[in-house]
Amino acid sequence: MLKIPAITGTSYAIVYSATCQTDLVRAVAKPVSIVQAHLLPTIFCFLRFATQCRASPAAIADSSIPFPSSHSQLKAIQNSDSLIYQVLRGSRPLLDVEYVSTKDEIAKLERLQSWYDAQFRDIQLHRSTVLKALENRKSIYAPIRRLPRDLLIEVFHSVCDTWWQGADEDELRDSLDLSGPLWALSRVCGLWRDTLHTSPASWARCVAVKTPFSKHAPKILQTCLEHTGEHPLTLQALCDSDMPTEAGEIISLLAQTCYRWKNVYICTSTHHLESISPHLPILQVIQIDITDDDHNKCRWDICLNAPRLWQATLFSQGISQVRLPPGITHYP
């Protein structure tokens, strides 16, 4: 019988680089009379391994990469565990000849560890991809996705109303709080985010800011105001004098939208009111509370050019000190 030489990583690389998988199968299968039958499973196992890993000839030839015989290598190493346990327990010393074989086993085990680590990472990567794809496809059938857009927005508004109404009497909710309902709902999924970002009325229903302001407050407020589009605003601004610079920046941003103010409550110092334009075309209700003692320096004609204004509350000011439009009907 013709003796078949051992199949090494290098010979695999030569064969694999010389022909494709089909040709290799054909080349191996043809001279079946001269190929030992027990080698065929090993060859086919290698072909599957090389195809799945898309290994290059150089990578296949690398002796540091275990081949599909890694399980048999591991089994052989496990058979010598009894010797290792005896040495570890002090039952017998490690002989010189065993020292060499043990070092060889360590090298093999380290290669196996690297190989299994790579396989594990590959499995984790593919598992993550599968789980994400599965989750996306199951989400298509979620009941919430069967709701019409208008009804979905009403659900969002109900959630927001509950959040605003849940505040204590002496507490003002803050639109700049990124844990608030609009910000949180828009992070649930792409559909909800797109729904809210194309619904300016949802953001304009109540824009509330209060001190103290974080360093990111102006940017967050700018984003919030952009989401309101050109929709009329209901606004609450509590900007006391403890943070004059930050409060001034926030009031300045709000003042840029004053032509859209509809229902407004402002609590701030006198000089911050100077940035507010007297042109308030759709303003209907306004409350202004001054936090300092410079009332006499304040422009109390701020509401004069508000043709739709019907209710004004200017705390600490008598009606004789304030110029109001003729359509006013409520002035406490």
In a shared domain, residues 158 and 46 = no
pTM: 0.59
Highest mean pLDDT among 214-223, 246-255, 276-285, 300-309: 214-223
In a shared domain, residues 13 and 133 = yes
In a shared domain, residues 27 and 84 = yes
Pairwise CA distance, residues 61 & 8, whole Å? 8
The domain boundary residue, chosen from 112, 137, 162 = 137
Element (H, E) at 181: helix 181-185
Which CATH number do you get for residue 270?
Answer: 3.80.10
| Whether the predicted pLDDT of 178 surpasses 90 | yes
Residue 3 placed within a domain: no
Strand-pair partners of 268: 239, 290
- In this structure, is the dihedral angle defined by the CA atoms of residues 292, 296, 298 and 301, taken in order, positive or negative? positive
Pairwise CA distance, residues 309 & 327, whole Å? 7
pLDDT tens readout for residues 127-146:
999 999 999 899 888 888 88
| Residue whose entry in the numeric block shows the structure tokens 């701030």 | 268
The pLDDT of residue 12:
41
| Whether the predicted pLDDT of 119 surpasses 80 | yes
Is the CB of residue 47 less than 8 Å from the CB of residue 25?
A: yes
In a shared domain, residues 127 and 194 = no
In a shared domain, residues 126 and 174 = no
Residue 31 placed within a domain: yes
In a shared domain, residues 155 and 58 = no
* Residue scoring higher pLDDT (7 or 139): 139
| Whether the predicted pLDDT of 296 surpasses 70 | no
Pairwise CA distance, residues 277 & 303, whole Å? 10
| Nearest one of 219, 53, 213, 25 to 122, comparing CA atoms | 53
> How would you classify the pairing of strands 233-239 and 207-210?
parallel
Residue 4 placed within a domain: no
* Residue scoring higher pLDDT (52 or 163): 163
The pLDDT of residue 187:
94
| Nearest one of 181, 174, 178, 182 to 212, comparing CA atoms | 174
Residue 172 placed within a domain: yes
Angle 258-156-238 from CA coordinates, rounded to 5°:
35
In a shared domain, residues 252 and 172 = yes
Is the CB of residue 272 less than 8 Å from the CB of residue 297?
A: no
Q: Tell me 234's DSSP state.
A: E
| Whether the predicted pLDDT of 14 surpasses 90 | no
Non-local (6+) Cβ contacts of 177 within 8 A are: 183
In a shared domain, residues 152 and 295 = yes
Is the CB of residue 60 less than 8 Å from the CB of residue 13?
A: yes
* Residue scoring higher pLDDT (58 or 162): 162
Pairwise CA distance, residues 282 & 203, whole Å? 18
In a shared domain, residues 284 and 153 = yes
Pairwise CA distance, residues 74 & 150, whole Å? 63
pLDDT tens readout for residues 235-280:
999 887 666 777 888 989 999 999 999 999 998 887 777 778 778 8
The domain boundary residue, chosen from 137, 156, 176 = 137
Cis peptide before 212 (omega within 30 of 0): yes
Residue 1 placed within a domain: no
Residue 326 placed within a domain: no
Count structural domains, the chain.
2
What's the whole-number mean pLDDT along residues 86-95? 88
| Residue 259: burial class (beta carbons within 10 Å; 0-12, 13-18, 19+) | middle
Pairwise CA distance, residues 330 & 14, whole Å? 94
Is the CB of residue 304 less than 8 Å from the CB of residue 285?
A: no
The pLDDT of residue 243:
66
Residue 215 placed within a domain: yes
Strand-pair partners of 210: 238
In a shared domain, residues 247 and 293 = yes
In a shared domain, residues 192 and 87 = no
Give the full edge-to-edge strand order of the sheet including 207-210: 207-210, 233-239, 261-268, 285-290, 311-314
The pLDDT of residue 321:
63
% of the chain with per-residue pLDDT over 90: 33
* Residue scoring higher pLDDT (246 or 36): 246
The pLDDT of residue 70:
64
- CA torsion, points 27, 29, 32, 38, in degrees to nearest 10? 110
* Residue scoring higher pLDDT (243 or 177): 177
The domain boundary residue, chosen from 120, 137, 154 = 137
In a shared domain, residues 50 and 178 = no
Containing structural domain, residue 47: 9-137
